[in-house]
Structure 1
Amino acid sequence: MRPLLAAAAFVLGCFTPSANASDQWVPVRDVALEVQSGSPLDFSSFLPNGTIDADHRLVAGEGGRLAYVKSPEKPLRMLCASLAWSPASGGFPDHAGADRYARQLALHGYNIARLHFADASLMFGRQKDFDFNPETLDRIHYLLAALKRNGIYWIIDGLSSPRGAYGGFDDRWDANGDLKLRLHLDEEAFAHWRTLQEKFLGRVNPYTGVAPIRDDALALVILANENGIEFDSVVHERPGEPAYDKVLAAPFNEGLAKRYGSTDALVQAWGELEDDERLEAGTVRLPPDRYADSPRMRDLQAFFTDLERTSATRMSKVLRDLGYRGLISTYNNWPTVQTALSRRDLEAVTMNTYHDWVGGYAPGSALLQVSSIADGANYLRMIAAARWLGKPFVVSEYDHLFWNRYRYEAGVVMPAYASLQGWEVLCRHGHGPIVLAYGEPYPHKRAMLPYAIALDPVARAGETLAALLYRRGDAATSGINIPFAVRGEEDLGEDMQAREPERLTELALIGGIGLVPADRVDDAVGVAQPRTHGAEEILAALRDSGSLPQDNQTDTGRGIYESDTGQILLDRRAGQLRVSTLATEAAAFSSLREPIDLGVLRIEQADGNGLVALSALDRRPLLAHSRRMLLIFATDAQNSGMIFRDSEEKVIEDFGSLPVLVRKSYVDLALSRTAAKWKVSPVGLDGRVYPPVRTGAGPIAFRLSNDTPYGPTTYFLLELEES
């Protein structure tokens, strides 16, 4: 009887989304998700993608900003579609599907796409090295051509899978292979990577007539995704095993010998060695614990930096020798002091970041269920401090992950602050950013999952807002850049996790920040020397110089941060982020104790947390005069039949299945405008406009429910007729 009793206790301990889910959660009725041309969700008329040709090749233009080669003085913003397909999510589409998909990306406002794990897809089920699946290769080639025809540039990983193009593996999407580490150390591994570039990027695409590596559409190659040595060692660390792979020991000793010359000199630097450790014999050990600070750890970090910079130089030369002219980057995560030094010579900086990271899809996977606004958008600030000023900055992956109930925040936090920082590319990670319909028969499309934003109405609403706030340029770039002075290796300490302190990264909520070599920093106002200055000291200097307005509301002690543009206000304690621009006003809130006045839009009250945004859709997008506006109202969404192991919904037991359920909510809104007539119409997830649910004349004020007669939605169209 014990197993039955245990099972019964387990079932009683699990929780569905709500005891009265039929009252709080309503199922999405939309099935087809292709945006209709000319609908309110078709942004192609005011976010057109042009022709990709030699004049429009992307380069690092003036000030290191991404620009067309023919107009380097005009910076660009690129909204990126993450294409990380696998067999579990349907794989690469056939030709007809690729045409439809690429066209849909353009309608949604995307103008660049990142191919991630293409190597794994090409080698799925293959037994011989470099024996690419011919159908998959054909589909990738056709998709690249379809993207290019729709004015969508490419970012491609030189390597995503740690299995590379070796045959005979069935775990290509897992972190089991060691190729990323061996690339730094092993000539065979390096030759394998080089051959992969030759056979994939260097092969002529029959649908464009040119090899991808020489195509004007290829804007950026990430040499290998997340291939920093320290991070890779963390990924592969197992209980009871050494912290670092033994293959690092010999080159580490060689590096120490070059640095110190003798065991005696090493002892003077470190203080002590074990009796059997001799530099001359190459027997100095790697640190046994990566989390224990020591001089040994400090020198290991210096060794990693030297090795990583050498590797990036070698790998970059391979691409240049193959005729590549675009940008090159690597080491796109792990925002530590050490990795920042490894990135300092790169042509562009790429970074990945996540809020409330989830480790997998298995029962028992957990997140923290916390707000990103409550911690001052820390996941954004961490990568802001990894940027090197004067180089293009690309967010190659980010997400505020499902099933976190605050993930509506991502739709305003990331695009608003990416705009403020002047970042060049913004890429919310997922299998793909869109799907053409619900109900595709693939394991990863049968329910919303982490890293699968396309099925999530909340994430999709955020991407819609990102196209307006970020790519359209509704949110402005800061007029200040606060340089974090970097001396070099002397900035390394004994803590391998050391990064720029939070008291300084808070400045990213007010103006631009980034790293600058110390010898290139003059007496500019607000220079942040490594780990010595505080935010208040720098803010005071900026105010005194006039760089920051005297009436700026920033008060770090109270958790209030206002951008120098006056457009963004984050209040950590209230759990609110407000954005007010000429074309878009938006607010994300975990509580609403009093009305939020954004200028034109006023949020009077709401019955729960969520995101509300209003954007002008006219040719001249100004909310003060617009007659056609897109209204976004996003709350939360879950799958039908989701089961959690706890009442706080932190630990997943079963993801459930479609249809998606949207949390029903209402919000009371008012505009500081009047109209002879006005109406509010629901807009389906495919852009279809339904009959109005609110109408009026004169003052514009109404209660809006996301549970419409046509099913729940995150979109509404507000139309005005002036007398």
Structure 2
Amino acid sequence: MRVGVIVAAIAFGFSALKAGALDQWVPVRDISLEVAAGSPLDFSSLLPNGTIDAGHRLVAGPEGQLAQAASPEKPVRMFCASLAWSPASGGFPDHDGADRYARQLARHGYNIARLHFTDASLMAGRQKDFDFDPETLDRVHYLLAALKRNGIYWIIDGLTSSRGAYGGYDDRWEANGDLKLRLHLDEEAFAHWSMLQETFLARVNPYTGIAPIHDDALALIVLANENGIEFDSVVHERTGKPHYDEALAAPFNRWLEKRYGSTDALSQAWGDLANDERLEAGKVRPPGNRYADSARMRDLQAFFVEMEQATVARMGKVLRDFGYRGLISSYNNWPTVQTGLSRRVLEAISMNSYHDWVGGYAPGSALTQVSSIADSASYVRMIAAARWLGKPFVVTEYDHLFWNRYRYEAGLVMPAYAALQGWDVLCRHGHGPIALSYGEPYPHKRAMLPYAIALDPVARAGETVAALLYRRGDVAVSAMRIPFFVRGEEDLSQDMQAREPEHLTDLALVGGIGLTDRVADEIGVEQPRIQDARAILAALRDSGRLSKANRTDVASGLYQSDTGQILLDRRTGQFRVSTPATEAAAFASLREPIDLGVLRIEVADGNGLVSISALEERGSLVQSRRMLLVFATDAQNSGMVFRDSEERIIEDFGTLPVLIRKGHVDLTISRTVGKWQVSPIGLDGTVYPPVRTGVGRVAFRLSNDTPYGPTTYFLVEFDER
């Protein structure tokens, strides 16, 4: 389909909208989404990417944070672009598209990219094992080179698709295969994974002249995405099938025999052996129900820990034997006690986390339409407690998913806490974080969808704020460390879902938390986990490590960071950030003004996100003459249909053009200047004529429905004369 026809189709969509919809929802007019060089949305000067070479290779510094090889004592912050393309989303771009795309990523502030499901793309439509599509392989190689030229490092999955590089499958983006389980059990599967690394990562990229595995741009390999044995068995759980694959029975029996020696000893430990279960005959079964607590389940978890740690060691050796020098991670989801122990041996910890997860795109798919502030940012706290202190921490995937109406929160909540915790990489998941235009002729580009943030003005506004809060470091790192002490296998319980208690992960909203097995003379969370967050906070206040003026009140759902810059108020549904360079608030309602310091939000006609950031490299809100103002409400596709009035269950995702919910806010900026003006910025960075001007006191009503079309971005400029 030609671009002209696509644009005409979108334009027709404007006229086809019902008049009633225009009362609340306004169609986006922008077609191009390529940010213009030098525009307020071009962060390539504000957040410059440097040259990638041996001295700038990413390593783990002495304190366990990511740093460059030539200056290991200086932590670096990596803002990640998720590249999870498939034929349905357009696949890997051609050479011209790759150059444009990489250049745009740099302008948006990204300095690292994660390649996800690359194995599936390389093998799409192929019938023979390891018979990579030559055009796709060429495009992948060229993109890697283009990213590197733009100062963007790489994270690559060693395996994403459960079909690996086996030929003859057309379901490579689905979780039907058993390769991730067999990697732990089967020599053929392990050899297949090893060959995949050799044929893709260890062969020379013609556009860089070096194999990716030897390239200084390759910062991290995730051995296999979401490959925990327990999680994989949950993914494959089906009614009428055993909860655990029969392939686990023999190695589990060998492990039990080594541990207990006899059926009698095992029976004494478990107390629930069936008459036909004999260890000597290898007939002891894994638990029949993973959701029933038992001593059998506790031993199965211990077995998984040993098997997963051994598999990581084997896989890591394969990469090292190929000459890989970068970091290695795996088991990047499910923050249970068991998986935490498996991750203990990793060089870097990686985790995935979602708020209001959506299972698919089919009619009937559902989410809850609840706020992440309402559960005190559970999806953030959950992975914060999975971090191992002293190791780089990488968020390989997160999102607050479309079509949740509170997803504007994601642009503040996750990046603010990621910065507070001092995490090393932050990656909001999607097919790609940006698109070059609306109207691309691919199934997953014809409307906004879950796991596809590029077309969503609300998600894109959040990523813009995240680049400043997180990568620029507008939010300060916590001065406190609150360790969760780990003993080892004795921390396992009979519950396979056991994880760090919610009432203790609340501590992540105040200071830095993480797991440690080092005994230290410091205030932390002991084993067993029977402590109370309020008691720990009281001890921190008494010690002087937390100010007595800190406003945190766990009982009332109020949490203030030790830096004083972040405030989460669960009761009011508000989240606030106040730093020298950025002030912002996300709010479910506004019953009274929000005073952030320089910015005061007086009135709002609905829920949303408002932020203001200095646009000078070392500027502050009290000094900067140019500021980026972000106002995000909600966005939907034209013609979206739901099965219920609460818009929880989708019937039809609709089509382009994207509609932005109209909204306005009354703002005051505590600056007294000669002249000031507020100008809308298009989604491509175009600055339009001012919609608000004044002299002296800076106060105005801001509407996102501008004469130039709806937008989420505005430029505030001051003339001090």
TM-score normalised by structure 2 residue count: 0.97
CA distance in 1, matches of 2:197, 2:524: 44
Q: Deviations over 1:21-44 (max 9, x none)?
A: 220000000000000000000001
Q: Deviations over 1:394-417 (max 9, x none)?
A: 000000000000000000001100
CA distance in 2, matches of 1:275, 1:21: 68
CA distance in 2, matches of 1:112, 1:105: 9
Which amino acid in 2 is paired with 1:64?
Answer: G
1:556 correspondence with 2:554: yes
- The alpha carbon displacement at 1:292 in A equals 0.4
| Number of the residue aligned with 2:72 | 72
| Number of the residue aligned with 2:52 | 52
| Number of the residue aligned with 1:435 | 435
SS at 2:23's partner residue? helix
Which amino acid in 2 is paired with 1:372?
Answer: S
Could you tell me which runs of 5 or more consecutive residues in structure 2 were left unpaired when the two chains were aligned. 1-16
1:685 corresponds to which of 683, 686, 691: 683
CA distance in 1, matches of 2:520, 2:335: 25
| Number of the residue aligned with 1:532 | 530
| Number of the residue aligned with 1:576 | 574
Percent of counterpart pairs with the same letter?
79
| Number of the residue aligned with 1:277 | 277
| Number of the residue aligned with 2:6 | none
| Number of the residue aligned with 1:345 | 345
Counterpart contact for 1:526–1:539, Cα < 8 Å: no
CA distance in 2, matches of 1:574, 1:530: 34
1:646 correspondence with 2:657: no
1:644-723 paired onto structure 2 within 5 Å? 644-723=642-721
| Number of the residue aligned with 2:10 | none
SS at 1:333's partner residue? coil
Q: Deviations over 1:342-400 (max 9, x none)?
A: 00010000000000000000000000000000000000000000000000000000000
| Number of the residue aligned with 1:216 | 216
| Number of the residue aligned with 2:628 | 630
CA distance in 2, matches of 1:345, 1:237: 28
| Number of the residue aligned with 2:408 | 408
CA distance in 2, matches of 1:654, 1:30: 24
1:263-662 paired onto structure 2 within 5 Å? 263-517=263-517, 520-662=518-660
| Number of the residue aligned with 2:3 | none
Counterpart contact for 1:592–1:606, Cα < 8 Å: yes
SS at 1:691's partner residue? coil
CA distance in 2, matches of 1:667, 1:336: 42
Counterpart contact for 1:253–1:284, Cα < 8 Å: yes
- The alpha carbon displacement at 1:672 in A equals 1.2
SS at 2:75's partner residue? coil
SS at 2:714's partner residue? strand
Q: Deviations over 1:261-318 (max 9, x none)?
A: 1111111111121010011111111111110000010000001111000000000000
Counterpart contact for 2:484–2:524, Cα < 8 Å: no
Counterpart contact for 1:500–1:530, Cα < 8 Å: no
1:188 correspondence with 2:188: yes
CA distance in 1, matches of 2:603, 2:490: 53
Counterpart contact for 1:486–1:530, Cα < 8 Å: no
1:171 correspondence with 2:171: yes
| Number of the residue aligned with 1:120 | 120
Counterpart contact for 2:99–2:146, Cα < 8 Å: yes
CA distance in 2, matches of 1:374, 1:540: 24
CA distance in 1, matches of 2:428, 2:617: 27
- The alpha carbon displacement at 1:529 in A equals 3.3
Counterpart contact for 2:487–2:527, Cα < 8 Å: no
- The alpha carbon displacement at 1:526 in A equals 3.2
- The alpha carbon displacement at 1:18 in A equals 10
Counterpart contact for 1:162–1:177, Cα < 8 Å: yes
Which amino acid in 1 is paired with 2:692?
Answer: R
CA distance in 2, matches of 1:558, 1:464: 32
- The alpha carbon displacement at 1:618 in A equals 1.7
Could you tell me which runs of 5 or more consecutive residues in structure 1 were left unpaired when the two chains were aligned. 1-16
CA distance in 2, matches of 1:679, 1:686: 20
CA distance in 2, matches of 1:703, 1:287: 62
Counterpart contact for 1:485–1:521, Cα < 8 Å: yes
| Number of the residue aligned with 1:12 | none
Which amino acid in 1 is paired with 2:452?
Answer: A
Q: Deviations over 1:227-271 (max 9, x none)?
A: 000000000011111111111111111111111111111111111
Structure 1 moving runs of 4+ over 4 Å: none
Q: Deviations over 1:76-123 (max 9, x none)?
A: 110000000000000000000000000000000000000000000000
SS at 1:671's partner residue? strand
1:250 correspondence with 2:245: no
SS at 1:588's partner residue? strand
CA distance in 1, matches of 2:112, 2:617: 23
CA distance in 2, matches of 1:719, 1:448: 33
Counterpart contact for 1:528–1:538, Cα < 8 Å: no
Which amino acid in 2 is paired with 1:223?
Answer: L
Counterpart contact for 2:387–2:393, Cα < 8 Å: yes
| Number of the residue aligned with 1:105 | 105
Which amino acid in 1 is paired with 2:429?
Answer: H
CA distance in 1, matches of 2:353, 2:703: 33
Counterpart contact for 2:98–2:142, Cα < 8 Å: yes
- The alpha carbon displacement at 1:19 in A equals 9.7
Counterpart contact for 2:159–2:224, Cα < 8 Å: yes
Counterpart contact for 1:644–1:652, Cα < 8 Å: yes
CA distance in 2, matches of 1:653, 1:525: 51
CA distance in 2, matches of 1:491, 1:18: 59
- The alpha carbon displacement at 1:621 in A equals 1.9
- The alpha carbon displacement at 1:527 in A equals 4.0
CA distance in 2, matches of 1:309, 1:632: 45
Which amino acid in 2 is paired with 1:342?
Answer: S
| Number of the residue aligned with 2:4 | none
| Number of the residue aligned with 1:151 | 151
CA distance in 1, matches of 2:421, 2:19: 44
CA distance in 2, matches of 1:530, 1:476: 32
CA distance in 2, matches of 1:365, 1:534: 38
| Number of the residue aligned with 1:81 | 81
CA distance in 1, matches of 2:525, 2:383: 18
Counterpart contact for 1:526–1:542, Cα < 8 Å: no
Which amino acid in 2 is paired with 1:699?
Answer: R
CA distance in 1, matches of 2:612, 2:64: 33
Which amino acid in 2 is paired with 1:67?
Answer: A
Q: Deviations over 1:554-601 (max 9, x none)?
A: 000000000000000000010000000000000000011110000000
Counterpart contact for 2:483–2:523, Cα < 8 Å: no
Which amino acid in 1 is paired with 2:115?
Answer: L
CA distance in 2, matches of 1:555, 1:27: 43
CA distance in 2, matches of 1:619, 1:387: 31
1:36 correspondence with 2:12: no
| Number of the residue aligned with 2:94 | 94
| Number of the residue aligned with 1:13 | none
